[in-house]
Structure formats: C-alpha cells, structure tokens
Amino acid sequence: MTGTATLSRDAEAGTSRAAGPCFEVYDTGFEAVLGRYARLARVAETDAHEGPVYIPGEDALYFTTVPRAPALPAPGMPRAAIKRLSLDGLSLPVDPSRLSTLPVPVHMPNGMTLGHDGHLVVCEQGTRSAPARISRVDPLTGRVDTLVDNWGVLRLNSPNDVVVRRDGTIWFTDPSYGYLQGFRPEPQVGDYVYRFDPRTGRLSVVADSLDKPNGLAFSPDEQILYVTDSGANTEPGSYHVGRPHHVIAFDVIDGSHLGPGRLFAVTTPGFPDGIKVDLAKLTTRRR
C-alpha cells in the first residue's frame, strides 16, 4: 500500500479527504519525512498495542500487547505482555514463527523505550495488587529490575509512556487510566509528568498542568519536550470534546525542569496518544 494524499482546501480548513490506503499529508513538510518511495506494508498480524522498540543489533522489534481479561486467576483483571518479533531485513511480512513472548514478570506493560545500556525501559501500569512502576528489562536474560515505583511514599498511578534523555534521565507520563479502567486502586497523586534521575534516585514532577498526560518525545536537540494530553478520553470508547485532545510543547530548562507549556497542535477528531520525532527531518520553531 503506497501513496500520499496531497493537501486539499478541505484539509486546510481542518478536515481531510482519504484517498484509499495511503498517508494523508496536511503539511508539505511531511513529504520530506516520507521520502519519495514511502510505502505501507504489513509486518506481522499480531496483538500489538504500545511501546514499539527496535533494537538494531538484534534486528528485532519489541512491543507490548493488547490487554486481555483471562478467565483465571482473577476474572476481569486484564493482562498484557512484552513480545519480540525477529525481523528478516526488509522481507515482509514476517513469518509468524518469528514472534515470541518474553517470559518476564511485568504487570500491564504499556509504553517502552530503549535505555542507554541496551535494556528495555518499561512503563508497568500495575494491577490492584502489583505496584505501578518504571522497570528495566534485560531482553536477553529476562531479568527485571524496578527503577522507580513511588513518589515519596505515594504510589504511582499507571505509567503510560517513557523517553530517555541523552544524559540518562528518564521522563515519563503517569495518568490515572488504570484506575479509570478498573484495574488500579484510587490514585494517591495527580496525573503528572515525571523526571527520574537513576544516578541520584530522585523523582521530580516536571509538569502538573495536564489532564491525562500520555505520549511524550523530545525535539532532536532535546530543548523541547512534546507531551500529548488525551483528557478527552476518560474511559474506553469515550470522547469528551470539552476536555483536552492536543499536544503541548515545553521548553526544557537546564536539562532538569520545564518552562510554561504552549499549545503545539490539536487533534480533531479524536485525541493524541503516542508521539515520535523524526531526528533527520523535523525542525522545531519557538514562539
């Protein structure tokens, strides 16, 4: 499936027109990101949900699965896992035999990223009995270590997405979706964006003004942090148009805290979730 849809007057007015199975282009700058030979191709048919992480040395893609409610041991309590897809270069689709599940004790994993040490940094949303945490998973040995699971003496809500800065600090969002979806206890803290410094063990709140902070990504120079706010979605299938459905940009000050947020983009219809920055093509402008 290939192709691009050029920007129409309808798109300029905030709507888009689909042109079959293709990319929809709202800004000509995105065409530079796609390149001349962009294509859509099915890699594998599976239960992928969040947290895609590609490890070049393995030519493997790791991701978290769609939460499912098993019959045992606790009916209605959802579970998710981390899966590994062993790729075969650009040969697509990949044979199903290349898909495997990591036998690691993680609880409702969601967003993930790659740490500087080659380990997976995982957002574990937790359950009613298992704590929510940011963990480090060794994809080769299966060892799981807790990086942080509380702010002071207060438990985290349900970490959603995570990024690692070049200085090694870990930044993540912690909305209360686990509670709203019925698999986490009532929140003890707000829906915040955090910065964790593994060298000192210090966890700091860097943003407390968002409704439901979700995806996040740094600009190429790491001077801006983009955070999506999916507050319009409070329960599965819901869309409350009066609540946030936008992306906020924050200037990063001294590498450790954020300046005032400013509106960067609004998603209409729907709400934003995960977000990535193209390191080679994207430029940012401050205003």
SS3 for 121-183 is: EEEECCCCCCCCEEEEECCCCCCEEEEECEECCEECCCCCCEEECCCCCEEEEECCHHHHCCC
CATH number of 52's domain? 2.120.10.30
Q: Both 26 and 136 in a single domain? A: no
Q: Both 144 and 17 in a single domain? A: no
Residue 88, domain member (yes or no): yes
Q: Both 70 and 14 in a single domain? A: no
DSSP conformation class of 9: H
Give the structural domain span for 14: 1-40
Q: Both 50 and 192 in a single domain? A: yes
Q: Both 149 and 259 in a single domain? A: yes
| Number of domains the chain is built from | 2
Query: pLDDT value at position 236?
Result: 79
Q: Both 34 and 123 in a single domain? A: no
pLDDT confidence of 75, banded at 50, 70, 90? low
Residue-wise pLDDT tens digits, 198-233: 999 999 999 999 999 999 999 999 999 999 999 999
pLDDT confidence of 25, banded at 50, 70, 90? confident
State the DSSP string of 90-116.
Answer: T--SPPGGGEEE-----SSEEEEEE-T
- Secondary structure (3-state) at 34: helix
Residue 273, domain member (yes or no): no
How far does Cα 276 stand from its chain's mean position? Answer: 9
Residue 271, domain member (yes or no): no
Cα-Cα-Cα-Cα dihedral of 118, 103, 163, 229, to 10°?
A: 170
Compute the distance between CA of residue 259 and CA of residue 140 in angstroms, rounded to an integer. 39
Task: Please give the residue that has the higher pLDDT: either 268 or 193.
Answer: 193
Q: Both 50 and 116 in a single domain? A: yes
Residue 81, domain member (yes or no): yes
Q: Both 206 and 119 in a single domain? A: yes
Q: Both 19 and 35 in a single domain? A: yes
224 forms bridges with which residues in the sheet?
A: 251
**Cβ atoms 133, 163 nearer than 8 A:** no
Q: Both 16 and 105 in a single domain? A: no
